[in-house]
Each structure stands twice: as structure tokens, then as C-alpha cells.
Structure 1
Amino acid sequence: MTRPVYSESDQKREYEDGAHSDPWRSAYSRDYGRIIHSASFRRLQGKTQVFPGHESDFFRSRLTHSLEVAQIAEGIVERLNHEHDFFKQQQNRIEPRLVAAASLIHDLGHPPFGHNGERALDEMMLRHGGFEGNAQTLRIVSRLERKVIDESEKCYGLNLAYRTLAAVLKYDEMIPAERPGGSKVAKGYYETETALVRKIKEAVAGDPAFRPGKFKTLECVIMDLADDIAYSTYDLEDCLKAGFLTPAEILASADGLLSQVAEKVGEELGFAFSKAEVMAVFQDIFAPPEIPEGADADTKSELYVDWYRSSRKLANSSNLRTKLSSALVHEAILAVEVEPDKEFPMLSKPRLSDDQRKKVEVLKWYTRLSTIYSSRVKLAEYRGFEVVKGIFEALAHKKNGALLMPLDVRTRYEAANDDEALRMRIVCDFVAGMTDRYALEFYGRLASDNPQSMWKPI
């Protein structure tokens, strides 16, 4: 029997609080509101996307990135609902508000200093379930936010609908309780959320043990596509604005860089990708001058000079940069394809066309390898690993470290008694929730020689 794209059980919540169940608001509209008004969503404004926010007001933060992902995801949904034969049917239409809600929360679990902070926390938690941004996102919205608390003082986080929670479950694997030192960050969900994941699957797919390792909803895939589109497009725009790149410099890239990009793109696509194919993507985007056959040296020189000037103008003009970004995003939205899963429509898998996926991967990896992984950006990030690790060690492993935490966190820590894994998770939750600036300030209060005020709250 074919299940509908949405069923009544999708809208159920772990705790039926009944708050503001107005008949004119959908479950997903309520979820969207709860997310917008949450503290963890606001904190995204203080978490770095690519370039530190204090360097320029122009650069994106995790919050503005999440808003852009939400808009792109809604754009994908609107097009599929309008053009795709299956989703044009009223009973199969995708909920744009649900996809937007998932997009707004997809980065909530990122700790201060992004992947460096993630590696530091994972290293500290190797014997206690690890740390990973997506797993932390699920934990934040289902356990750590203080929106809904029952009579027994059990917290349900934002108490979102099961289908909304399913839309942020990117990796259907439980992270092992213990892993050896030197392990890569493991993707998945924490052991503490295992029972919740079973409830999500039962509500959405009708089976708490549904397709182990392969459960990923339609909305989650759309959010993931929108995230990749946003990364590939807007990281490039930020690099152009920062002056780290110009079209001319990109087209004059060293062979070594092009080889690295080609290798990474090939790994993502699952087949060999060449330097020439990387360059072809940029030639399509930036359109270098076409030299007429038989053109003399002066004509060639003039054409190249004109193009170089327009290249510099693109890097320096906000209007031209915006037009380029808009065109790239629109092109990507138009390239989303989907083959519905007729038996389980909620697990239909949208995808980018082959050509568009190549373009997205090339843009994403080029900006990462040329700029985001460059020394001047990595130098600013490097200290983040030491800061996050230092704070964690002070709170968790120093004598009376718990006294350094806010009262509500310390109370939960002390209530855990001798449960070391739970105590470490509570410390991890606190550190992971810090913004970049708060983490630097907190670390400074622990380690700086400068006098610190006792009047400023922790």
C-alpha cells in the first residue's frame, strides 16, 4: 500500500503539549515559529561561516547562511510543486514551510570555530559518544532548548513535529559510544537520541526499524541540496568581496590547485574528474574573451585587457556579484530532478542534474582549497581548536571545574552524580553552544593575565 507524502502521524510530537494549537496554523508553521524564536537560532549570528564576522559586516554568519539555505530550499519546493507531475497533485505537494524550518536548524549544532571546534570536542568525547554537528542539532531541538518541559521536569527541547525532526536526520547511524584516538569525526546521532530516532521512524515510515542506515526524508535531501548550492555560490561571492579571488586569477590557477580540486570533485562524484573539466566550469561562468581567427597581436591584447578590466569590476561591484550569485542559484534550482518513490513518497530522492552537480562541486572545492584552506584563513581558525579544547579541559577535568559553569548547567552536571558519560555530555553541550566571541572571552577569563571582572556573568 502506498503511503501519502504526509500522514497524520507526521505531525505528532514526542510530548503533546497542546500549546497554541490554532486551527489556522499547520504543525510546520508552529515549528518554524519556535525555531525563529529560539536562543540557539539567535546564537548562529555569532558563529563564523567562512570569514570571521568582525573582519567585515558583509561576510555571512551561520545565521545568514541558514536563512539563504531556507530560501533556496523553498525555491526548489515551489518549482517541484509547480512543474513536477507527481508533486503537482494536491495530496503530494511538498510543504515549503517544513523544508524552510529544517533549513533554519540544520547548522544549530555547529560549535564555535566550525569544524576546528567540532574536532576539538570530538577528541574530548571519544570515550563518551563523540561529538558531531548534525547529532548536536538533533539534540538541541529535542533536548537542550527549554521551550517545553513536562510535569516531571523532563525537557523536550522545542518539541518539534516528528516530520520536522526527520528532516534534520541526515545520517541514519548511531555514533559509537567509544572510538579510538585519531578517529575521524563520525557522522550520525548520539546514543542518547536512539529511542527518539525510533519514534521518528515509526511516525514517518510506520516502522521504528525502517531501512537501517538509509532513512533520509525528501525534505532532508532538499535541505542538503540547498546547503550545497548556498555553499558553492555564496562562499565564492565572499571570496570575491574579500579580494582573495578574481575571475582572472581563477582562470590562471596553478596546475597543482586544479589537480587538487579535480581529485576532490572526483571523490564526491564517484568517477575520475580532470583539470580540464574544472577549468571548463569556470570558463562557462566567467566567459573569457573569444579571439577571432587570424586576429593580430594588438587585437588579442585589447580583448584580453578589456576582459581583465571586466573581471576586476565583477570582483569589486556588489551589483555584478549579486547578479552572478543570483544567476548561479537560479540555474541550480532549475536543475533539480526527482524520481518519486511511489511506495514511500516521503523518501523520494531529489538530485541535481549531472552537469549542475559538477558545477556545484567544482565551485565548492575550489573556494575551499584556494581560500578557506589557505594559511591566512586557517591561521585565524587554528586557535579555535586550542580554545575549545582548553575550555572543555578546564570545565571537565580540572578540580572544581564545574564551579566555572553557569548555575543551571552546574546543577544538571551535579545531578548526574557518578555518570561520567552524562557529565561529559553536559559539559560538551555547554561548550558547543558558545558563539565564537563568547568562547574567546571565556577562554580569556580562564587563561589571560589581564584582570577579569567578577561582575560580568558567565
Structure 2
Amino acid sequence: MLYDKARDFLRAKPENEENDVGRSAFRRDYGRLLHSPSFRRLQGKTQLFPGHESDFFRNRLTHSLEVGQIAKGIALRINATEPAFRDDPIDVDLVEFAGLAHDLGHPPFGHNGERALDDCMKKNGGFEGNAQTLRILSRVEKKELRSPDDGDVCGISADGTDRRLGLNLTYRSLASVLKYDKQIPLRRHKNAPLMKGYYASEDLLVKSIKEHVGTPSTTGVFKTVFKTIECQIMDIADDIAYSTYDLEDAMKGGFSHPLQLRAMVLGRPSLAAKLLEKVKREVADITEPDLFSAIDDLLNLDDSGAATNSLGSYETSKLVASDGMTRCQFFSELVDQFMRGVGVDLLPDKDVRFSRITVVRDIRIKIETLKHLNFLLTIMSPRLKVVEYRGYDVVKTIFETLDSEEGHLLLPDDLRLMHERLTDTDSKRRLICDFVAGMTDRYAVEFYSRLRESGATIFKPL
């Protein structure tokens, strides 16, 4: 079937929309996301450090804003430098939309909240942040129903049919957040690891997305990959933001400084081996000298070539971590360097939709090294692990309570009615999972305290 670009702009439910001057269908989608409750709630979800610790540190919302800006910057650069994209440019509204939406599905307490919900849902389709993002945009958000004309505004009809359409976005916008083209099995073993993909409940939607957006070439490296160029740009922008700015927050929080990180890797062979193993997942042919060279380029602050354990280098390293202007300059230069390492390989037929985003090898190694180094030394530190374990228990307790015999009676009124109308266990548990996943960290703690402690006043609604 020949690709019809106009099909990108179609929605599950047609709307009488006029393209105002300067406002495309993708710009409408951008606006719908920006005004949605799910997007606002990202301000209350942890990025690296819990929000109550300081207003300085990034949360999921500010991280998403940074990813959106980096993604847009990459798209603008490709449009300006690649001849094939001058006549058919990447839509920057769509790229920015993908960056802003990419973390929408993350539950409270980050990856430990994700693990808790996946453990609860192993027999009912699992849980995963990217899959939840697609579900929020296409189903959970409360903007559009398939057939609300009967006066019944409940998302589940009286016969148990789910008629929710979420934000009723264009198919191309939905494709921009579909990172993993694989369905998560409905039933998995209790010890199975977390699996990335999309839920069985969105299987028909994914098929519809592919029908409208099209599929990649059936030749070469693109044979089995469904990942639009906007989604790929969002993905690398997320890696750039995550690898640099989480480390900046860690330095501001007093967890490390550049020379300390360098010394820990060079002085602990077991850490270096673990780091090399993680980077190999993205750069298969990386060697130990490649890794140490990247660390040297990233964290050696002595331009004179003198010994890096000199007092001058140490003082400079401490200054990067403690002085706001120096730290800002250090990480701004890293982000700029990483963005300039991003390029694109066109498909043989010059179809830009599924053209492959590339990253210069040494830049990819640096991004992956920083990302995993921060994970191993900061996120896995005892101080943050205490917070993670607490979050796991909070999320799992809330889910199991709501899923108990009369637990649905604790749901807000609109969700309670939907739960009563649903006719199968998988759908009922998915509804509860949606509710818990949408909680902010603070709200989850407050809800937990109502269940296990004295909690807030009963006159404050759930």
C-alpha cells in the first residue's frame, strides 16, 4: 500500500477541525498534552531525588521539558543540514510532543514503583512505563469518548464496553511514543523480569497506528523495526538529558564530583567491569580502553596534561560540583557536544518516516558511560535505595488493597462506576493499575497513610 501522508493526521474519532493559520493537527495534539492532568502530575513524580528534598532538583516534569527542548533542537539541526529534510522536514511540534510525553506513564517512586506494579500485574498483562504512556494518551485521559451521545458520560458503557479514546490524538502522534514494537504477554511467570513493549489491551490500537502511519522498508537493517523518526529522536534526547542532568543533580546533592567519579572507576576494577558490561548493551564492540578513554575525556579537567590528582585539578573538580555557574557551563557543553553527534541515515527510498537516527560512536560511548556510571554510583547508593524500597511497599500495598474483595469501594466515584461495569478481571485490575500509576509520590504516601495510619481527614476527597 502506498503511503498517504494525510492518514498521519487522522484520529480514532474524526473531528471537525480546521487548520488555523500556523496550527496543524500535531500542534493541537501538543496543546492537548500540555493541558492534560497526566502531564501536570509529572511535577509530583521523582526523577532522581524525592521532590520534598529540594525545589532545585529535577522532577519528571522538568526532565520532560528538557527532553522536549533537546529533541526539538536535534530535529531543527537535521532539517537544516540534511538536504533530504529540507523539502520534507521533521515536524518540530511532533518531535517536541514526543519529548514532553515520553515519561507520562511513569508511576510514583520511579523504577521501583514500576517494578511493584509489574509484580502486581504479572497475570494480567504486566506494567511498564512506556506501555502506560501509550495507554494514557489513547485511553486513560478523559477528553473523548467513542459514543457519549446517550447522555452517559462514563468511560465504560452499561454493557461493559470500553469506549474511552483518551486525548483522541492523531495516529502519527501516538506512533511517536511507541518505543517498543512488542506486545507484553498477558500472562507471565511471577519471577519474570520487567518487559518493555505495549499492553495486550492496546494491540488493536497498535495495528491501527501501523495501518495509518505505514510500516518500514522490508529490506536491510529496517526489516523488523517500527519506530518513527520522531520516536527515535525522542529516545536519544532522553538519553542525553538523563546522562547529563541526572549527574548534575547528583553533584549538586553532594554525591560526587568529576575527579571522584573518575577515581572510583579507575580504582575499582569490579566497577569498571560492571560499567563496561552495561555500555556493551548499546555499543557491542566497545573495549576497556574505549571506556577509559571516554571517562578520561569526560572527567579529566586538567587541560595542561599534568597529573589529574594534582591539587589544582581537585579544586576545579570540586568547583564544578559546588559552583552553579561552573557546573552549568560544564553540563551545557556536554549536552551541546552530544547533540552534535546525532545524525541520520536515510532509507533507500528516502522515506523520512523510518529513517534511522545515528550517533557518532565515541559520543554514544560517552552518553552510555555517563548514564550507567551515575546509575551505579548514585541511584544504587544506600541513601537512595532506602527511598526506593519504601516506594515499592507503598505502591504494592495500595494496589493490593484496592484489588481486595471490597477494595474498589475506595476508588474515586467515576472509577468506581467504571470498575463495577467492567466484566472481566484483567480489565478491572488494569483500571486499578491505571489509578495507582497516575498517583504522584505525595498522593501515594497520603493514600497509604489513610490505609495504614490515621491519615488525613475523611472530609478531604480521594
TM-score normalised according to structure 2 size: 0.91
2:293 equivalent in structure 1: 280
Q: Deviations over 1:85-138 (max 9, x none)?
A: 2112x2x21111100001111111101111111111111111111111111111
1:261 equivalent in structure 2: 275
The 2-side partners of 1:37 and 1:230 are apart by 23
SS of the aligned residue for 1:179 comes to: coil
Map 1:254-403 to 2 at 5 A.
254-255=267-268, 256-274=270-288, 276-289=289-302, 304-343=310-349, 344-397=351-404, 399-403=405-409
Q: Deviations over 1:306-330 (max 9, x none)?
A: 2211111111111111111111111
The 1-side partners of 2:280 and 2:396 are apart by 34
SS of the aligned residue for 2:105 comes to: coil
Structure 2, unmatched stretches of 5+, are: 154-162
Moved more, 10-19 or 146-155: 146-155
Pick from 8, 11, 14 the counterpart of residue 9 of structure 2: 11
Pick from 98, 104, 114 the counterpart of residue 110 of structure 2: 114
1:55 equivalent in structure 2: 53
**Aligned partners of 1:172 and 1:212 also within 8 Å:** no
Structure 1, unmatched stretches of 5+, are: 294-299
SS of the aligned residue for 1:269 comes to: coil
Letter in 1 for 2:280: G
Residue-pair matches, total: 442
The 2-side partners of 1:414 and 1:139 are apart by 20
**Aligned partners of 1:392 and 1:427 also within 8 Å:** yes
Q: Does structure 1 residue 433 correspond to structure 2 residue 434?
A: no
Pick from 67, 70, 73 the counterpart of residue 69 of structure 1: 67
1:174 equivalent in structure 2: 183
Moved more, 40-49 or 77-86: 77-86
1:137 equivalent in structure 2: 133
SS of the aligned residue for 2:192 comes to: coil
1:297 equivalent in structure 2: none
Mark the CA change 1:83 to 1:35 in structure 2 (over 3 Å): closer, same or farther: same
Share of identical aligned residues, percent?
Answer: 47
2:450 equivalent in structure 1: 445
SS of the aligned residue for 2:47 comes to: coil
- After TM superposition, give the deviation of residue 291 of structure 1 in Å: 7.1
Map 1:200-279 to 2 at 5 A.
200-205=209-214, 214-253=225-264, 254-255=267-268, 256-274=270-288, 276-279=289-292
Letter in 1 for 2:410: L
Root-mean-square deviation (CA, aligned residues, Å) is 2.2
2:422 equivalent in structure 1: 416
The 2-side partners of 1:351 and 1:76 are apart by 12
SS of the aligned residue for 1:351 comes to: strand
The 2-side partners of 1:405 and 1:224 are apart by 35
Letter in 2 for 1:187: K
The 1-side partners of 2:432 and 2:371 are apart by 33
SS of the aligned residue for 1:126 comes to: coil
SS of the aligned residue for 1:350 comes to: strand
**Aligned partners of 1:111 and 1:435 also within 8 Å:** yes
Mark the CA change 1:7 to 1:27 in structure 2 (over 3 Å): closer, same or farther: same
Letter in 2 for 1:110: H
The 2-side partners of 1:420 and 1:212 are apart by 37
- After TM superposition, give the deviation of residue 20 of structure 1 in Å: 6.1
The 2-side partners of 1:453 and 1:213 are apart by 54
The 2-side partners of 1:278 and 1:54 are apart by 36
The 2-side partners of 1:110 and 1:354 are apart by 30
**Aligned partners of 1:175 and 1:186 also within 8 Å:** yes
SS of the aligned residue for 2:392 comes to: helix
The 2-side partners of 1:23 and 1:42 are apart by 28
**Aligned partners of 1:172 and 1:189 also within 8 Å:** yes
**Aligned partners of 2:408 and 2:419 also within 8 Å:** yes
- After TM superposition, give the deviation of residue 213 of structure 1 in Å: 5.3
- After TM superposition, give the deviation of residue 23 of structure 1 in Å: 4.7
**Aligned partners of 2:301 and 2:316 also within 8 Å:** no
Letter in 2 for 1:232: S
The 2-side partners of 1:451 and 1:251 are apart by 46
